[in-house]
Structure 1
Amino acid sequence: MLYTYPHYYKKFQCIASACEDTCCAGWAITIDPKSLEKYRHAKGGMKARLKESVDWKQKCFKQREHRCAFLNDDNLCDLYTGMGPDSLCWTCKTYPRHIEVFDGVREVSLCLSCIEAARIILGTKEPVRFLSSENEKEESCEDEDFDFFLYTKLQETRDVIFEILENRGLSSELRMAMCLSLAHDLQRRVRDEKLYEVDGLLKRYHNCTARFCHRLASAGLESYSRFETASELYTVFEKMEPLDPAWPERRDGMDEILYGAGKEAYEANRRAFLTANGTRMELLREQIMVYFVFGYFCGAVYNDNPYGKMKLAVAAAILVEELLMAEWLKENLPGRPENRGKAVSVVPSGIRGKAVAAALQEEQIVDLVHCFSREVEHSDENRGLLEDELVKREEFCLKALLAAVIEWKRA
């Protein structure tokens, strides 16, 4: 079995009770069938505790005040203490590792939803390298229905996408736009069953910056704007069922802060935000895009929709930046101290006074990104809702998303 993982993967080490946001609280922990059977037949001192702490119907651990029933006051696991590390279910053993399964390949990454993993991922300043190692003890599970040819073309496309995303000689916005356009063009080959054209497509996206910029200039993006597309994305985001009970209080009102006073104020505030945080946003966009592309793009082998996977990555990058902008505006808009946390409209002229306000602190960025990941990535319903809306709605067509990525430069 071949394992592929990012170069920072082995840096992770759980900090257990020292973690300020334990992974054993805020969401239901699903129990795999093998572990459930083990718990059902447990003996000794943990038998009674398991009987009352497992939701056997829903196949998950019960929660007490939104905390796993086995999480003690020291933020340590009583099940681990009482029965040893082998007692942990698959979720608890593997988290915060995300594993994508393909024929003969396992792609393993860290989850942004873990705040310690988020520190590692977002703290990686160099371009991400992907390493591979062979586990000869683990045999590959062959699937006769697996479309290996499509998977190969997805891998080759993803390699080109990584080359584009990590080309720091280009702006992050242009890199995102090129990758979105590439995935759009790939989707047409998948739909029309013309995968034999993919090699030529990839060659055209090598060193095509000038041609692509000309294509953008004549694409007719003027009728779209980041303000409209981002606000529509945020509307979808607000529909998601919160996993963390504390999240709605933090999320609610951000849309009013961002979009409540209209497009002109939004664009003025965005310019001020990028003046203070633009350098960090350049790297953050790359980090978010590489993370989502590695984690999800090749999964299109199971649904024939690589364009949808790329849309998810772009939407995540846009939403993260919008949320960070809202947090920054709370601290920098006139009169904000007495109104902090309330849903108030921004002033039409945007931020007054010194344009260069304090930039967001790295811990603020890490905290918000890990909360976003938890709400989107760890709910099949929430991620499915976002992917469905991105695919089906005209508001999220190629031109709308391209304009959302690059529009601020023309504002």
Structure 2
Amino acid sequence: MLYTYPHYYKKFQCTASECEDTCCAGWEIMIDKKSLEKYKKAEGLFGNRLHNSINWREGSFSQYHHRCALLNEDNLCDLYTEMGPDSLCRTCRTYPRHIEEFDGVREYSLCMSCMEVAKIVLGTKETVRFLSKEDEREENEDAYEDFDFFLYTKLTDARERLLEILQDRTLSAHVRMELGLALAHDLQRRIRDGKLYEVDAILERFGKRERVEILRRNLERKRESQESSETSRYALMCALYEELEKLEPLHHHWPDHRAKMKTTLYENGKSEYDRQRREFLASEMGERVELFLEQLMVYFVFTYFCGAVYNENAYGKYKFSLACTMLLEDMAQAVWVQRGRHSNQDEQDNRDSQDSQNNQNNQNNRDAEIWLADLVHRFCREVEHSEENLNALEDAMTKRAEFGILSWMEALEEE
């Protein structure tokens, strides 16, 4: 068995009662069958409490005021305290670790729905390295009887190229995202036509130094062969947000939070959106955007892209990653506006000493790290922890005409 994981994987440590947004509140915690059987046999006073704290029909822990029934006032788990760490169900034992399984391969990542993980991922300044180790453990071959190993190898090769492109800091983040989109588009055509033998040539082309020039020429030809769509970033983002609003909310605060950001971003029209975006990108926060986009794209692509081996939709997986990243970019802009654009900072800086300015800048940096992590963990909690939401967003990226390749390219080129 081969195990792969990002280099920051082992940095995670649960902060338990110190957590700023406990994972034991705000959503339904599902219990695996083995744990349910164990809980049925629990005895004594705590056993009675445990039986009464489970929704047996749903197979989940009950909630009181949107908190797990076993979460105490100190934000600690009474099940853990009373019955030990081995008593935890699979969800509680593994979260925020995420596992993707393939034939002979197990890929580990950390879920940014956890606030602490979001801080780790977004706080990673260096390019992400992916580490692998192997052991002699045998996999159940029957579980992967219909596994298309040839497709899987091409997907892993494509993902390696995508990650290399997405972390090429000689290019702007949006150009990298465009290149990745074009690669995924060309790859999908070969999957559809049964021409996987042509994938190596595609990956070689996207590895060339002149890949941006090749992309621009191909896009120009595509534009000439189609009617002009005149798609703007504003129009694309409005359509993306519409899809986001269709998803099932998992946390009771999310619909209100989402609605406020939509009002800030889009309800005053395109000209106001464009003006607001220019201010955001020109601000101190705008300087963070490049790394923010890079780490988000790397996170989503590593986690989900190779899952296309099960549905043959590599293009949809990439566009899902792109949609999440661009939505989070706009949401960061919305929160920045809602926080007041730090409009009084310049006046304050004029009065402060150099040391005070440095202290203020350091504090602003720490504040930004916290609210960006908070934004991302809220979004990921809503999108990534519902199979229905994941599938619905990927389906929309695949089926809606508004999300064709030229719409994305024109939105990404718009600065």
Query: TM-score scaled by structure 2?
Result: 0.90
Q: Name the residue aligned to 1:388.
A: 395
SS of the residue 1:169 aligns to = coil
**Aligned mate of 1:301, from 289, 309, 332:** 309
Q: Deviations over 1:350-371 (max 9, x none)?
A: xxxxxxxx88711111110110
Deviation at 1:380, TM superposition (A): 1.6
**Aligned ranges for residues 174-185 of structure 1 at < 5 Å?**
174-185=175-186
**Aligned ranges for residues 129-168 of structure 1 at < 5 Å?**
129-136=129-136, 138-142=137-141, 143-168=144-169
Q: Which amino acid aligns with 1:44?
A: G
Q: Structure 1 residues 216, 36: CA separation in 2 closer, same or farther (over 3 Å shift)?
A: same
SS of the residue 1:139 aligns to = coil
Contact conserved, 1:104 with 1:141, CA < 8 A, in 2? no
Aligned partners of 1:86 and 1:293: how far apart in 2? 33
Q: Name the residue aligned to 1:313.
A: 321
Contact conserved, 1:318 with 1:405, CA < 8 A, in 2? no
Q: Name the residue aligned to 1:361.
A: 368
Q: Name the residue aligned to 1:188.
A: 189
**Aligned mate of 1:372, from 356, 371, 379:** 379
The answer to whether the aligner puts 1:215 opposite 2:201 as a matched pair is: no
Q: Deviations over 1:290-329 (max 9, x none)?
A: 0000100000000000000000110011100111111112
Q: Name the residue aligned to 1:405.
A: 412
Deviation at 1:127, TM superposition (A): 0.4
Q: Which amino acid aligns with 2:244?
A: F
SS of the residue 1:202 aligns to = helix
The answer to whether the aligner puts 1:73 opposite 2:73 as a matched pair is: yes
Between stretches 39-48 and 121-130, larger displacement belongs to 39-48
Q: Name the residue aligned to 2:358.
A: none
Aligned partners of 1:22 and 1:85: how far apart in 2? 17
SS of the residue 1:253 aligns to = helix
The answer to whether the aligner puts 1:251 opposite 2:251 as a matched pair is: no
Aligned partners of 1:79 and 1:37: how far apart in 2? 15
Between stretches 102-111 and 324-333, larger displacement belongs to 324-333
Q: Name the residue aligned to 1:49.
A: 49
The answer to whether the aligner puts 1:330 opposite 2:333 as a matched pair is: no
Aligned alpha-carbon RMSD (Å) = 1.8
Aligned partners of 2:411 and 2:248: how far apart in 1? 25
Aligned partners of 1:45 and 1:11: how far apart in 2? 38
Aligned partners of 2:194 and 2:32: how far apart in 1? 37
Deviation at 1:59, TM superposition (A): 0.8
Q: Which amino acid aligns with 1:28?
A: E
Identity of aligned residues (%): 56
Please identify runs of 4+ aligned residues in structure 1 that moved more than 4 A: none
Aligned partners of 1:252 and 1:298: how far apart in 2? 33
Q: Deviations over 1:11-46 (max 9, x none)?
A: 001010010100000111111111111111222333
**Aligned mate of 2:280, from 270, 273, 286:** 273
**Aligned ranges for residues 333-348 of structure 1 at < 5 Å?**
none
Q: Which amino acid aligns with 1:316?
A: C
Q: Deviations over 1:107-151 (max 9, x none)?
A: 000000000011111110100000011233x32222221111100
Contact conserved, 2:155 with 2:306, CA < 8 A, in 1? yes
Aligned partners of 1:36 and 1:331: how far apart in 2? 45
Q: Deviations over 1:215-269 (max 9, x none)?
A: 3355437611100000111111122222111222222132222112221221111
Aligned partners of 2:261 and 2:180: how far apart in 1? 29
Between stretches 220-229 and 287-296, larger displacement belongs to 220-229
Q: Name the residue aligned to 2:295.
A: 287
Deviation at 1:279, TM superposition (A): 2.2
Contact conserved, 2:229 with 2:407, CA < 8 A, in 1? no
Instruction: State the number of aligned residues.
Output: 386
Higher share of residues assigned helix: 2
Q: Name the residue aligned to 2:58.
A: 58
Aligned partners of 2:135 and 2:20: how far apart in 1? 35
Aligned partners of 2:260 and 2:81: how far apart in 1? 42
Aligned partners of 1:272 and 1:302: how far apart in 2? 43
**Aligned ranges for residues 196-207 of structure 1 at < 5 Å?**
196-207=197-208
Q: Deviations over 1:365-395 (max 9, x none)?
A: 1110110100111112222221111111001
SS of the residue 2:52 aligns to = helix
SS of the residue 1:223 aligns to = coil
Q: Structure 1 residues 61, 334: CA separation in 2 closer, same or farther (over 3 Å shift)?
A: closer
Query: TM-score scaled by structure 1?
Result: 0.90
Contact conserved, 1:113 with 1:370, CA < 8 A, in 2? yes
Q: Which amino acid aligns with 2:169?
A: R
SS of the residue 2:106 aligns to = strand
Structure 1 unmatched ranges of 5 or more? 336-357
Q: Name the residue aligned to 2:110.
A: 110
The answer to whether the aligner puts 1:100 opposite 2:91 as a matched pair is: no
Contact conserved, 2:184 with 2:314, CA < 8 A, in 1? yes
